[in-house]
Amino acid sequence: MPYTGEAFMLKRLSEPSPNVHQLVAAWDGLAVGMGSLMLGMGRRRHSGDIFLFIHDDYWGRGIGRALLGALLDLADNWYGLSRIGLEASPSNDRAIALYETHGFVREGLKRADVILEGQLEDSVVMGRIRLAPAPAEGDPT
Amino acid sequence: MIDIRAPEERDIQALTELVNCPGVRWGADRLPCTPRSWVEAQVMRQDANAHPIVAEVEGRAIGWAALRQKPGRSRHVGSLGISVHDDFQGRGIGRAMTAALIDLADNWLGLTRLELSVFTDNDPAISLYRAFGFVIEGTSRAVFLRDGQLIDSHLMGRLKPEQQQKSTA
- Number of A/B CB contacts below 8 angstroms equals 91
Cβ neighbours, 10 Å, residue A49:
17
Q: Select from A43, A82, A108 the Cβ nearest to the Cβ of B138.
A: A108
CA distance B166 to B169: 9
Cβ pair B81, B27 in contact under 8 A: no
Give the one of B29, B113, B143 whose C-beta lies nearest to A111's C-beta: B113
Q: Are A33 and A61 in contact (CB under 8 A)?
A: no
pLDDT in tens, B67-77: 999 999 999 99
Query: Which residues of chain A, if any, have pLDDT below 50?
Result: none
Each residue's pLDDT tens digit, A110-133: 999 999 999 999 999 999 999 888
Tell me the whole-structure pTM to 2 decimals. Answer: 0.92
pLDDT digits (tens, 9 = 90+) for B106-159: 999 999 999 999 999 999 999 999 999 999 999 999 999 999 999 999 999 999
- The residues in B 106-145 lying below 8 A from A, measured between CB atoms, are 112-113, 115, 137-145
- Chain B interface test: which of A106, A113, A122 (most B C-beta within 10 Å): A113
Considering only alpha carbons, which residue of chain A is nearest residue B74? A114
DSSP A55: -
CA atoms of B3 and B60, how far apart (whole Å): 10
Residues forming a β-bridge with B84: B63
Spatial CA neighbour of A47 closest among A21, A20, A83, A76 = A83
Q: Which residue of B has its CA nearest to A47?
A: B143
Give the minimum alpha-carbon distance from A21 to chain B in angstroms, rounded to a whole number.
20
Q: Which residues pair with A52 in a beta bridge?
A: A35
CB-CB under 8 Å, A47 with B143: yes
Give Cα separations from A97 to A32, A51, B133 (angstroms): 21, 15, 32
Which residue in chain B is spatially nearest to A128 when comparing CA positions?
B141
Chain A: closest CA distance from residue B3 (Å): 32
From the list A45, A108, A122, which residue is nearest B139 (CB)? A108
The answer to whether B137 touches A122, Cβ cutoff 8 Å, is no
ipTM reported for the complex, 2 dp: 0.89
Domains defined along chain A, listed by start: 6-129 (3.40.630.30)
At B163 the pLDDT is: 62
Rounded distance, CA A60 to CA A93, Å? 13
